[in-house]
């Protein structure tokens, strides 16, 4: 319940933003489609290498990648069903979010129509409809090359930092008197670095590039193997929030950048949002498997499919 009597000690409304490929799902939707139905594995390796060396921007190379597909959107779903696995505890975690009125949003460099159909297939259309997707759109007619419609006019096509800050602003507008938004981001790879800097609390999948980057740069984060770990930690955060909000003790896992949000007690005090300019490393907007030897497990679907 909002803290109406002491607005200087606000409660925090949890808002979760999560990457999709490599985070909610263990594989990359674009890789699965292009490898099996588009340009093929060798073509995909060439595109990845061009991005990694800086020969081409992520946006330019991705346009070629998606453009290698000329099939109707529905034709790719048997392939994705057979080649993709959802984190085995994601469904349970999302149900927990809905039960506790926690906003859950996907922020992805992928194509929104594809992501929505994948979520519909693995979660069911009704539950999927409770997840907001912020991603690039696409022009797909089934006979000509697929054409991404980029969300932002940048080299990346989608500035995740900007999307997180826009999400924070929208969350703040939806807060009741005496509430402020608490932003949690969940990710795995280099494409998540800029968004991770904007979050109050960061979860990084174990063994992948985001965790490596956080360790190297001493960025506070919580490692996770499945969304069961995320659920457990969010429950701890909910409990800690009752004890820590407005106090002097801030758990070490919180992002120091976000301390200002704990001192805000009204919408009027909210600063304007400016998206961070990504570094050269962060501009290497790559898929998770380009950075590690991580091999996805053959997770059971728990009846999700």
Catalytic residues: 19, 21
Contact between residue 128 and residue 140 where contact means Cβ atoms under 8 Å apart: no
Nearest to 87 by CA among 202, 203, 194, 237: 203
Q: Whole-angstrom Cα distance, residue 186 to residue 17?
A: 6
Kindly report the length of the chain. Answer: 305
Q: Whole-angstrom Cα distance, residue 171 to residue 187?
A: 20
Q: Looking at the DSSP assignment, which residues form a beta bridge with residue 16?
A: 104, 184
* Beta pairing class for 132-139 and 147-149: antiparallel
Q: What's the distance, Cα to Cα, between the start and end of the chain in Å?
A: 37
Find all residues with CB under 8 Å of 235, minimum gap 6, and list them.
Answer: none
Nearest to 221 by CA among 249, 201, 193, 197: 201
| Three-class secondary structure of residue 84 per DSSP | coil
Nearest to 19 by CA among 130, 108, 114: 108
Nearest to 199 by CA among 165, 150, 225: 165
* Beta pairing class for 222-224 and 11-18: unpaired
Instruction: Quote the DSSP letter at residue 58.
Output: H
* Beta pairing class for 11-18 and 103-111: parallel
Retrieve residue 69's tokens.
């597909």
What is the distance, to the nearest Å, from the Cα of residue 254 to the centroid of all Cα atoms in its chain?
18
Retrieve residue 162's tokens.
């900007």
């Amino acid at each position: 319940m909002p803290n109406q009597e002491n607005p200087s000690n606000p409660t925090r409304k949890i808002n979760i933003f999560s990457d999709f490929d490599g985070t909610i799902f263990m594989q990359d939707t674009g890789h699965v489609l292009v490898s099996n139905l588009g340009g093929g594995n060798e073509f995909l390796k060439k595109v990845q290498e061009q991005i990694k060396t800086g020969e081409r921007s992520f946006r330019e190379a991705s346009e070629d990648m998606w453009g290698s597909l000329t099939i109707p959107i529905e034709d790719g779903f048997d392939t994705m069903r057979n080649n993709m696995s959802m984190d085995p505890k994601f469904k349970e975690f999302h149900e927990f979010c809905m039960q506790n009125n926690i906003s859950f949003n996907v922020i992805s460099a992928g194509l929104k129509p594809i992501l929505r159909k994948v979520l519909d297939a693995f979660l069911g259309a009704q539950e999927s409809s409770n997840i907001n997707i912020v991603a690039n759109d696409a022009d797909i007619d089934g006979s000509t090359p697929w054409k991404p419609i980029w969300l932002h006019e940048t080299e990346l096509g989608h500035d995740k930092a900007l999307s997180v800050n826009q999400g924070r602003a929208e969350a703040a507008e939806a807060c009741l008197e005496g509430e402020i938004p608490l932003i949690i981001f969940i990710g795995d790879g280099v494409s998540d670095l800029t968004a991770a800097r904007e979050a109050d609390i960061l979860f990084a999948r174990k063994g992948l590039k985001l965790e490596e980057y956080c360790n190297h740069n001493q960025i506070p984060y919580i490692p996770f193997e499945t969304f069961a770990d995320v659920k457990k930690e969010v429950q701890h955060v909910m409990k800690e929030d009752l004890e820590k909000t407005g106090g002097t003790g801030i758990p070490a896992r919180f992002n120091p950048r976000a301390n200002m949000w704990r001192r805000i007690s009204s919408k009027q005090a909210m600063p304007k949002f400016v998206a961070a300019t990504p570094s050269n490393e962060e501009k290497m907007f790559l898929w998770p498997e380009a950075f590690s030897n991580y091999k996805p497990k053959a997770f059971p679907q728990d009846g999700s499919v």
